[in-house]
Amino acid sequence: MQEVTPSEKWSSDKVVLVFDLETTGVDVEDDVPVSFSLVQYAYGRLVFESHQIINPGRPIPAESVAIHHITDDIARSFGIPLTSALTQLREALMNASELGWVVLGMNVSFDLTVVDRACSHYLGRGLLDLHYAAATLDVLILDRHLDRFRKGKRRLIDLAAAYNVSTAEALHNSLVDSKVTLQVLLAMLDKYPELTEIPSANYSSSMFTYHEEWLQSFNKWRLSKGEEPLPSKVWPIDSKDDPVWD
């Protein structure tokens, strides 16, 4: 009889919604999505995937195009309206929150905060307004906590290499990134089975604690180099500033 792995045992009673965006830039208060993907992993099986290009209604900066390769022409020709995309994203994420699903991403606080701000502006209510409270996991935060002394960068491609996850397809496509993120998490669970003992209700609070521990260590290093420390933020969706929209 084949032994059940920690990740198989962990997955057997969970629904996971993997979520990823490509955006016009990195300012959560102003930038918006140009593509999104949703991948549903239910009870150990991949059951749904969706990838959508978005017309953001504004020029996409060249530095962002260089990363995700979604040009203005592609967005106009194949993208759905931004408000339609945001409506789909808000519904999917709030369903996950209300149904007790796990939401998973890579640096997921950025993506969630972008969606929150854009929904608040374009749809009237964001995720914070609707009391998003899904059990949220982030493979970047987990990796920093579990393997804190590993040298080198911690991009998704680096995490995939560290956990022996195949990246045959080019990353910075939101669907490919979502699938790789899922496989990285499952590999983490097998390598560090103690993760499976964390109750789902504690996921978000654990991620916040792990992030704060990393931030304190990172800021100590920044101060030693004469650099300003990075500010602490609310997790998984940062508190609202006063966004200035075009």
Nearest Cα residue to 160 out of 183, 138, 144? 183
> Which domains are present in the chain?
6-224 (3.30.420.10)
Residue 147: pLDDT band (50, 70, 90) is very high
The strand order across the sheet containing 102-105 reads: 80-81, 45-55, 33-42, 15-23, 102-105, 135-138
- What's the mean per-residue pLDDT of the chain? 94
pLDDT in tens, 40-65: 999 999 999 999 999 999 999 999 99
pLDDT in tens, 187-210: 999 999 999 999 999 999 999 999
pTM of this prediction exceeds 0.85? yes
Q: What is the CA radius of gyration of the chain?
A: 18
Residue pair 60/75 in contact (Cβ under 8 Å)? The answer is: yes
C-alpha–C-alpha distance, residues 168 and 191, integer Å? 22
Task: State yes or no: pLDDT of 37 exceeds 50.
Answer: yes
- Answer positive or negative: Cα dihedral of 158, 35, 92, 111: positive
C-alpha–C-alpha distance, residues 141 and 145, integer Å? 6
pLDDT in tens, 164-192: 998 876 667 889 999 999 999 999 999 99
Nearest Cα residue to 127 out of 103, 149, 151? 103
